[in-house]
Amino acid sequence: LERAFVLSHAWALASAQPVEITVVRGRSRKVSSVVLPVATPAALVAMKLQSVPQRRGRREHKRAGDCFDIYRLMIEHGTKSTVHGKGGIARALAYAPADLGHICLRYIRELFVDEPERTRRWLRQGSPEMSEITLDDLHTAGQSVADALERQIAERAAG
């Protein structure tokens, strides 16, 4: 987990994309604007995947939010993405530094494919929107991304 923490956060910094954030008054009066580096969806997934098993004690309540964020990012950017292009998060994770893609694959399978019941229990502790996610929803999203990630890792290894 410590290795995943360091790799995912370093990758998030290195791969961050500039995003313009604008404050407007009313419908169109621009008040202020700033461009900031923001982590990509794949880097966010990597950071959140390693955080889920580390949530203990007073921070345990954050598990539901982490799982919900991962689920939504997989749904939106899993195998195709306006940010990551063809292959989406799966392709980006396969080409992440060192063995981060393998680590993420393990946690995606664990949280969403092999043990979605546990993830569903955590989500039920969150908002009503989180509680609406079914076991099938979790499994389908996880299986899709895990299978694509596994294929991408194999393609990368084949060279």
CA dist list (Å): 91 to 8, 26, 56:
15, 40, 31
Task: Give the confidence band of 77 by pLDDT, cuts at 50, 70, 90.
Answer: very high
Q: Which amino acid is at 15?
A: S
pLDDT at 45: 98
Task: Give the confidence band of 54 by pLDDT, cuts at 50, 70, 90.
Answer: confident
Q: What is the pLDDT of residues 7-33, one digit of tens each?
A: 999 999 999 999 999 999 988 888 999
Which of 87, 103, 86, 91 has its CA nearest to residue 47? Answer: 103
Instruction: Say whether 34 sits in a helix, a strand or coil.
Output: strand
The 3-state DSSP composition of the chain as helix, strand, coil percent (nearest 5) reads: 65, 15, 20
Is the pLDDT at 42 greater than 90? The verdict is yes
For the segment 142-151, the average pLDDT, to the nearest whole number, is 97
CA dist list (Å): 21 to 32, 37, 41, 103:
8, 10, 17, 32
Is the pLDDT at 127 greater than 90? The verdict is yes
Identify whether the C-beta of residue 130 lies closer than 8 Å to the C-beta of residue 62: no
